[in-house]
Structure 1
């Protein structure tokens, strides 16, 4: 008999869907992290205990709860517990410095902050700077003055908390950090519309079949690896997609290519999501060979632009299981290119390897010029504008920047790209990363240049930046991470190859060789850190 499951005529939430699975086959594995393995019954009971523990701290429906968490099983359950009691999830990722982290806590109006013990010092500093001084809770004991949430939960009932009102249609239930200037972070807020799409995933499979962001999963048989940060949109969606289908979710505490390969193999992972630098690191690992991961059926690549040559390499190594998607914190799903379509269509049309796919269901895309509401013609580069169910409500407590980003329901993404006649989207740059150079001040698109650089022997990763130049305003400068044990990379030969392929406008003024490029906690190349390190002279060259 199913106890405490949703029995009303109200639409099922994503949590109801997860709990339907967790009330069945209670001894089946639900959550795994190394030696920690929770069955469905254990996960359900711990979820309810955490919900009661959070309520015991005075949290009420609609309150914001900041989550400053590492990748671990309890982090997944705490996020679910915040929604379970009707509160707003505020993800606090590791990237921001102390000032911006404190501003994020303050601007998001978080009444409590739940921190991993590893981050407790930074969390306490941020909470202490906040005017309203949120309660500080930790997932286990720590040296700071935090209340141990896990200890509280162990003393709480393991039944579902009652009396939780349904959120309003336009109520912010999840807030994602998207970066910003010091003291003024951008917080993309989303309603339950986003999560309703997760329920549609299992209730209307044909609508989303083949989508990279909403991949079809086999009910209860998949084993999904969360390798990206759970407090980032990619890790958040990966974990929830697994749970709403009754799949086992395996959490990777910290990414390292060898460790990831071990977990993929030993846990018989069938599906995962990587950002491009993660994929590249796995492909470059000596243990990554064709046939090494026979259980793997789906790899979603997203979060940043992917090199076409690396994407083809992944298909050659893993088979036709690689799909690509495009989204951002402001719109968590925009386009997708399913694995089978990518492999088959890409074989006949090489240019499609540069595409990030077509609009997913319920999303529209237009390419617009600067200060224009009219769509540009096919293959003309402009700003990518989107509208649909995955688009944010706005920037939380920031009407000015919301008005600038959302116009008549259309989100201006800040990404530059074009559409072909069949609706495939091709990204060429972030608007702020375009390098304006040359005698005629033409645009150099860093994505185009970086994609080409990654085809050169010995180049493992690449980044292109515009640096100040007296003659042209900006000059192209490239940074290359070289492959260990690979062929030597000659900067002059690289420059000649770029000129021969892309023209003199793209010719780098200087080529810098590095052991590795700096990356954010999410795994993207950190161009801001790269620019700062270069300007300060602190980069270590091989």
Structure 2
């Protein structure tokens, strides 16, 4: 927080936060932050209390996140994808004393808060939520000085809690201490997001993914601690995103792969369209090397990759400059997600998790360092399963090369075990190849039940408009390149693949809707 305020106390009239026509200067953002802090305190919140944030992408959402930390409370991110039962369980398990909701989500927030035995206070981030106090209106009546007497959090105290899936009634909540933010500040200083030099125009960073998810939160924090202007994109649509990138002279942003693919497929996305753009980080899911190379052809040498998860927001990174130079030297590096970030260790371990495997051998990715969570909040059993002597089992499968570059081949749960010898089919390897085929815009591979082999490979392809994609030819190409084990039993052609609220391909939705290549009848 102090690092952000160092910038916001300088040059009061410089831009700090932007969303469409809403433009806050550093002075205005600072004063608004302090007012929100006082308004939250006025609801009886004390240091250490949890505050659930059920928010859309808005400038005010950034400020209220900061305000919760400013008064020593714990941020609990409530993303929009869980159903009513799991959302209520998330509020309950996180012990949220208050829930701040966007007016658009007020009905769902009220239902979740109403089911909690802790009876959290419900606040609306703006007007339009009946019988729910408007936090912004309350803030208007509060002083614009920094709230005093806020104790510093301890090293083992959870200050931020991120939802990372789970089951009805028992969500998984990754809890992080303030050490996470120290690590993210160091990462921003080590990378090309270190901010602008004195006398230069400030960097302009676009938050395009959800602010209540790890990727959006990471991008926002790194922008603010470097004194960059943070531009918030309310909803992602390729044409609108291109307009914002161009008109706001965005220098840095981050996309999940389907977002990047949608931009590249937009008819207005042509070389030279975005001259201010310096860095586009891609992460959140596996990215096709062929699509990365296409992005470089269109956007220039601005592509970098990052790898992290809710349990460890930063693990490895490949900066744009490094990827451009090293990728030319070693083309296979386009499949890598880079080297571990400073002060983070990565090992590849076998099934028993006891020892690190040699370079080049595939196993589960283990991580240790400042970005790793304290554990799953209020869930010692699953914490014990995920953490051992400081090492996090990521659930991702990959390998390290001799130079320390990390390559991911799959999520452990997405590996398809098939064939007469029950061998592994790595869905990412298959999806990367499918995206090199003409007419294929996006691809997903799943294992479906098979009486003979346990699982069979089934693929889903989003095809370009007017493209004539022959499933038989696709299958033959897969067999020729990857072998018979990877040959799909079924191929489903779609106009587009379903995505989650974060923009990732929604394999759960594909699995729930399709069986053996045939859409279920609801």
| TM-score of Structure 1 vs Structure 2, range by shorter chain | over 0.9
Is 1:36 aligned to 2:22, yes or no? yes
Alignment of 1:257 onto 2:235:
no
1:217, CA displacement in angstroms? 2.6
**TM-score scaled by length of structure 1:** 0.94
Q: Indicate yes or no: 2:475 matched with 1:495.
A: yes
Residue 289 of structure 1 pairs with residue 292 of structure 2:
no
Distance 2:440 2:424 in 1: 24
Q: Deviations over 1:53-93 (max 9, x none)?
A: 00000000000000000000000000000000000000000
Deviations 1:419-461 (A, max 9, x none): 1111111111111111000000100000000000000000010
Task: Give the one of 131, 134, 142 matched to 2:117.
Answer: 131
Could you say what secondary structure the match of 2:86 adopts?
helix
Aligned-residue offset at 1:379: 1.1
Seen in structure 2, the aligned counterparts of structure 1 residues 434 and 425 have a Cα distance that, compared at 3 Å, is: same
- Residue in 1 that maps onto 2:423: 442
Q: Secondary structure at the match of 2:358?
A: coil
Give 1:322 shift.
0.8
CA contact (8 A) 1:102 1:129 kept: yes
5+ residue gaps, structure 1, are: 1-14
Structure 1 window deviating more from structure 2 (41-50 vs 340-349): it is 340-349
SS for the counterpart of 2:142 is: coil
Aligned pair count reads 517
For 1:199 and 1:391, locate their aligned partners in 2 and report how far apart those are by CA, in whole Å: 15
- Whether the 8 Å CA contact 1:302–1:324 is kept in 2: the answer is yes
After TM superposition, which residue ranges in structure 1, 4 or more long, deviate above 6 angstroms? none
CA RMSD, Structure 1 to Structure 2 (Å): 1.3
Q: For residues 201 and 471 of structure 1, what CA distance do their matches in structure 2 show? A: 49
- Tell me which residue corresponds to 2:250: 269
**For each residue in 1:260-301, what CA deviation from the matched residue of structure 2 results, as whole angstroms up to 9, or x when unmatched?**
000000011111010111000001101111110000011111
Residue 217 (structure 1) aligned with residue 195 (structure 2): yes
Residue 410 of structure 2: aligned partner: 429
Cα drift, residue 538 of structure 1 = 4.6
Q: C-alpha displacement at 1:144, in angstroms? A: 3.5
What is the rounded CA distance, in whole Å, between the counterparts of 1:248 and 1:333 in structure 2? 22
The structure-2 alpha-carbon separation of the partners of 1:109 and 1:298, relative to structure 1 and needing over 3 Å to count, comes to same
In the other structure, the counterpart of 1:5 is none
Equivalent-residue separation in structure 1 for 2:191 and 2:494 (angstroms): 41
Partner of 2:513: 533
Q: Which moved more, 1:339-348 or 1:285-294?
A: 339-348
Note closer, same or farther for the CA distance 1:301–1:539 as it changes in structure 2 (3 Å cut).
farther
Give the Cα separation in 2 of the matches to 1:419 and 1:35: 46
What runs of 5+ residues in structure 2 fail to find an aligned partner?
none
Question: CA separation in 1, counterparts of 2:152 and 2:182?
Answer: 13
Contact 2:195 2:227 in 1 (8 A): no
Report deviation, 1:237.
Answer: 1.0
8 Å Cα contact 2:207/2:231 also seen in 1: yes
Q: Distance in 2 between matches of 1:126 and 1:376?
A: 45
Deviation of 1:373 (Å): 1.4
Structure 1 distance, partners of 2:148, 2:70, is: 9
Q: Distance in 1 between matches of 2:520 and 2:495?
A: 10
| 1:512 paired residue number | 492
Distance between the aligned counterparts of 2:222 and 2:191, measured in 1?
13
Correspondence for 2:448: 467
What aligned pairs does 1:477-496 form with structure 2 within 5 A after superposition? 477-485=458-466, 487-496=467-476
Q: CA deviation at 1:43?
A: 0.6
Distance 2:66 2:332 in 1: 41
> Residues 183 and 481 (structure 1 numbering): CA distance in 2 closer, same or farther, change over 3 Å?
same
Question: What is the CA-CA distance between 1:539 and the residue it aligns to?
Answer: 6.9
Shift of 1:197: 2.3
Report the alpha carbon displacement of residue 380 of structure 1 after superposing the two structures with TM. Answer: 1.0
CA–CA distance in structure 2, aligned partners of residues 395 and 270 of structure 1: 35
Give 1:117 deviation, angstroms. 0.4
For residues 159-214 of structure 1, the C-alpha deviation after alignment (integer angstroms, 9 at most, x for no partner) is 11000000001110000000011111000000111111244356xx3xx235xxxx
- Is contact 1:113–1:127 with CA below 8 Å preserved after alignment? yes
Structure 2 partner of 1:3: none
Alignment pair present for 1:80 and 2:66: yes
Instruction: Determine the C-alpha separation between the residues in 2 that align with 1:125 and 1:254.
Output: 24
Could you give the per-residue CA deviations for residues 496-520 of structure 1, whole angstroms, max 9, x where no partner exists? 0000000000000000000111111
